[in-house]
Structure 1
């Protein structure tokens, strides 16, 4: 087993961990984002496009929704 396999295992732990978090959508999305980033790195290291593409797309999705949630929180605090 090589060192980059550990990156793949870490990615899996973060993605699975994101499904175990309750109550805080930002933490769920951040945890999943870290897993996706690690999967993209892992995919690049092993030169595997089917790992890279969906995780790169999911990274963008997570970043987009984190941005929306932060923007919504900021708007709500300004409305008070």
Structure 2
């Protein structure tokens, strides 16, 4: 497959790790969502489907839900 697939996995790990250091919860959820999307792409390439499912169903949807509610609350 190539090293570029590994770079996707490393990028995902870095973004998820960096998100944990953020104080702004909106930035944390946004960066974490991007990292999770990269994990989904990476896990499909390496055929680690349980990792993809957890990232799609649980983490990404939870992040998107809370981002939506935070953005909606800011508009009040």
Structure 1 length as normaliser, TM-score? 0.87
* Structure 1 residue runs of 4 or more that deviate by more than 6 Å after TM superposition: none
Q: Which has the higher Rg, Structure 1 or Structure 2? A: 1
Counterpart in 2 of 1:42? 42
Equivalents in 2 of 1:26, 1:14: separation in Å? 14
Equivalents in 2 of 1:26, 1:44: separation in Å? 27
Runs of 5+ consecutive residues of structure 1 not aligned to the other structure: 76-80
Q: Decide which structure has greater helix share.
A: 1
Equivalents in 1 of 2:20, 2:7: separation in Å? 20
Counterpart in 1 of 2:26? 26
Structure 2 length as normaliser, TM-score? 0.91
Runs of 5+ consecutive residues of structure 2 not aligned to the other structure: none
* Offset at residue 49 of structure 1 (A): 1.1
